[in-house]
Amino acid sequence: MADDSAKHLEVALVAAERTVWQGQAKIVIARTTDGDVGILPGHAPLLGLLQGGTVQVRTVDDEYFVAAAPDGFISVANDRVSILAENAEMGHDIDLEEARRELEEALAAGIPDDDSDELRLAEARVRAAEQTS
């Protein structure tokens, strides 16, 4: 896979009800359960579960953005990267203040159950918004 069949990645960030972002990128950095993976063009096919809930993308125009993708997974094949998460969202679409408040509410509500979906969603949103700003 060393030959440069393509100089960029075709990235699709897909939520359950819509496609959040679609475009070409130079690099995608995602945190899977085994740690961060950086994906460059020519990466071997990969299927991984995301953890931590954020994905970083540098587009071909050298724009950089962070997206929240809690409980998602990433699939890479033939320079096509698909990031699937039910509640995927772009970092700059998230209101940091609001996300922080939601996280606090989730924390307050979820003390007995440390691993609730709402908590993970709120955490991912805060992290994405923080990294964006």
Looking at the Cβ atoms of 40 and 49, the one nearer to other proteins is 49
26 in Cβ contact with 8 (< 8 Å): yes
Applying CB under 8 A, among 24, 32, 59, 131 the residue interacting with other proteins is 32
Q: How far apart are CA 40 and CA 29, in angstroms?
A: 9
| Phi, psi (deg, nearest 5) at residue 32 | -95, 180
Choice between 85 and 132, CB closer to other proteins: 85
Sign of the dihedral defined by the CA atoms of residues 106, 107, 108, 113, in that order: positive
Please identify, among the stretches 30-38, 60-68, 107-115, 124-132, the one whose residues bind other proteins according to the rule CB under 8 A.
30-38
Binds other proteins by CB under 8 A, chosen from 8, 26, 84, 130: 84
Q: How far is the CB of 124 from other proteins (least distance, A)?
A: 15
Strand locations in 40-102 (E) = 46-59, 64-68, 73-77, 80-84, 89-90
Judged by beta carbon, residue 9 or residue 132, the one nearer other proteins is: 9
Count of chain residues binding other proteins (CB under 8 A): 24
Nearest to 24 by CA among 97, 66, 71, 79: 79
Where does this chain bind other proteins (CB under 8 A)?
A: 12, 14-19, 32-34, 37, 44-49, 73, 75, 77-78, 82, 84, 86
